[in-house]
């Protein structure tokens, strides 16, 4: 009986230590959620991102082995961020705003942005496409979510039903990288900082010394060129 009590006591102490580890890094999860939220449309609640991240943090803390990795947050950060991205994928915004509409709205926004450096209003897009303004807002919200997902996810969302059939995973990313090689160093840097360093447009603007509108223009231009190249 004494032996069982000892084992139980050890288990309780271990669980306390693991939960304490999760509590210690909860501020880091919140900071990560707020940083991601800054790149998302207003329809996404930061509280939901924090909840998803915290749940993943607790799971990771309870199976963390410091003998295999001496930096818990180094081990956990990518997985917590990945859980938040999985949540965004699960929102299934495509079902609420069909792919053709998303493409049409994105095409109009990209064209006007390229011509004038300013994005068209929801009212202007609604008038040009002849659809309800609510559907335009829904599509733009979807685009805002897609823009923070990895490039591979975006290509799958924007592709036609048979255009990129069977082209996914590593092969898709290999094709994306081959297209990126054709861009200027500045354009490649924008994509690197936005998708891989997870910086927002304002931060990239400060690093490169160009306006946020120009950064946004480059970002849209590169994504459009990637999609066109893969669909060609």
| Helical (H) or strand (E) element with 57 | helix 46-62
Q: Which residue has the higher pLDDT, 98 or 76?
A: 76
Give the pLDDT confidence score for residue 92 in this predicted structure.
67
Q: How confident is the model at residue 93 (pLDDT cuts 50, 70, 90)?
A: low
| 202-217 average pLDDT score | 86
The CATH architecture that domain 2-91 belongs to is Orthogonal Bundle (1.10)
Q: Which CATH number fits domain 150-232: 3.40.50.2000, 3.40.50.150, 1.20.140.160, 1.10.10.200?
A: 1.20.140.160
- Mean pLDDT across 80-86: 93
Which residues, including other chains, have CB under 8 Å from residue 43's CB and lie 6 or more apart?
A: 141
Per-residue pLDDT of 123-176, as tens digits, reads: 999 999 999 998 888 888 888 888 788 776 776 665 554 444 445 556 666 777
How many alpha carbons fall within 13 Å on the CB side of residue 70? 0
Kindly tell me if the per-residue pLDDT of 45 is higher than 80: yes
Q: Please tell me the predicted confidence (pLDDT) of residue 105.
A: 87
């Amino acid at each position: 009986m004494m032996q069982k009590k000892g084992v139980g006591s050890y288990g309780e102490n271990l669980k306390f230590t693991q939960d304490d580890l999760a509590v210690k890094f909860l501020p880091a999860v919140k900071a990560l959620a707020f940083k991601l939220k800054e790149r998302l449309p207003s329809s996404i609640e930061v509280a939901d991102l924090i909840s998803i991240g915290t749940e993943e943090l607790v799971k990771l803390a309870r199976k963390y082995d410091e003998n295999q990795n001496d930096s818990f947050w180094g081990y956990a950060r990518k997985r917590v961020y990945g859980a938040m991205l999985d949540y965004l994928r699960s929102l299934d915004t495509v079902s609420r705003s069909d792919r053709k509409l998303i493409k049409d709205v994105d095409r109009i926004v990209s064209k006007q942005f390229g011509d004038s450096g300013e994005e068209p209003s929801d009212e202007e897009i609604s008038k040009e496409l002849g659809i309800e303004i609510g559907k335009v807002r829904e599509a733009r919200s979807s685009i805002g979510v897609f823009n923070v997902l990895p490039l591979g996810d975006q290509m799958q969302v924007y592709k036609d039903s048979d255009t990129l059939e069977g082209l996914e995973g590593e092969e898709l990313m290999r094709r994306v990288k081959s297209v990126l090689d054709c861009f200027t160093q500045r354009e490649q840097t924008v994509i690197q900082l936005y998708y891989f360093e997870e910086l927002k447009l304002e931060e990239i603007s400060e690093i490169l010394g160009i306006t946020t509108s120009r950064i946004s223009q480059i970002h849209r231009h590169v994504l459009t060129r990637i999609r066109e190249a893969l669909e060609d």
